[in-house]
Amino acid sequence: MEELFSLKGKVAWVTGAAYGIGYAIAKAYAKAGAKVVFNCSRQETVDRGLAAYKEDGIEARGYVCDITDEEAVKSLLEKIEKEVGKVDILVNNAGMIKRIPMTEMEVSEFRRVIDVDLTGAFIVSKAVIPSMIERGGGKIINVCSMMSELGRETVSAYAAAKGGLKMLTKNIASEYGAYNIQCNGIGPGYIATEQTAPLREPQPDGSKHPFDSFILAKTPANRWGTPEDLEGPALFLASKASDFVNGHILYVDGGILAYIGKQP
Ligand code: GCO
């Protein structure tokens, strides 16, 4: 059983893994024996990540690279291959959100979210797939969202990107499954991270943010998730244990997608 879930000797590239969900996933992979590399678009975020890994006793390499820049991604991949090894596991985790009502959103803002959350995953996957084919296989895990399935006010660009990422996942599985490449999505529910902090901020009178209570009423588990809740599912999708699982989106949401919500 241990062998089934071991990542010993594997190289895992988790984009944007300086903190939050990506960090928890990378940490799980390191604990399972993988060599972990990550990138962020800014040096200060890379430094923040490196300090956190060091504190957790994890040897991780961090690089500055903007995943929307194909040339930069290609040269980073060459560097990773030279310095660490060929990439066996890619996690397309880097992402962003803009919460703006659709009719007030600039087209440039919409395009930026699509560029980072969807086109970035295309660019990095496109870069690693040829060497995965050459070496007989690989694992690609795309960090999807509740918004791969559901809409809500203010997140039109994010929902469009995450819905697209779900279909990119299925398409990579379809196109490269014959090369022993498994491409699956992990779909976090509402996880307590920096990205969702504004939705949990207590009100000036000390009461819960209305969105906080709303999410608890929508989640059978009756709590927000933690980045650590993603560790086991992400490890499953990166390991031998999931070798015949392809094009699947594994939602880790405390049951949100199964539930109509608590009656007020
Ligand atoms: C929002 C949230 C979500 C979460 C997450 C849910 O504004 O609704 O930020 O988009 O980030 O992706 O799965």
Q: How confident is the model at residue 140 (pLDDT cuts 50, 70, 90)?
A: very high
Q: pLDDT at position 109, please?
A: 98
Candidate from 150, 195, 250, 252 with most ligand 1 atoms within 8 A of CB, to mutate: 195
pTM of the full structure: 0.97
Show Cβ contacts of residue 234 under 8 Å, excluding neighbours closer than 6 positions.
24, 25, 28, 29, 91, 141, 186
pLDDT digits (tens, 9 = 90+) for 69-86: 999 999 999 999 999 999
CB-ligand 1 contact for 152 (6 Å cutoff): yes
CB-ligand 1 contact for 158 (6 Å cutoff): yes
Q: pLDDT at position 127, please?
A: 98
Q: pLDDT at position 230, please?
A: 98
Query: Angle formed by the axes of helices 43-55 and 20-31, to 10°?
Result: 40
Domain boundaries in the chain? 3-191+227-258
CB-ligand 1 contact for 93 (6 Å cutoff): no
Q: pLDDT at position 61, please?
A: 98
CB-ligand 1 contact for 155 (6 Å cutoff): yes
Q: pLDDT at position 179, please?
A: 98
Segment 17-40 shows an average pLDDT of 98
Of 164, 172, 170, the closest CA to residue 132 belongs to 172
Tell me the pLDDT of the chain averaged across its residues.
98
Ligand 1 atom index nearest CA of 158: 10
For tokens 């985790």, the residue is: 93
Show Cβ contacts of residue 135 under 8 Å, excluding neighbours closer than 6 positions.
86, 88
Q: pLDDT at position 113, please?
A: 98
pLDDT digits (tens, 9 = 90+) for 150-191: 999 999 999 999 999 999 999 999 999 999 999 999 999 999
Segment 99-128 shows an average pLDDT of 98
CA pair distance 15, 23, nearest whole angstrom: 9
Q: How confident is the model at residue 56 (pLDDT cuts 50, 70, 90)?
A: very high
Query: Does the domain at residues 3-191+227-258 carry the CATH identifier 3.30.2320.50?
Result: no
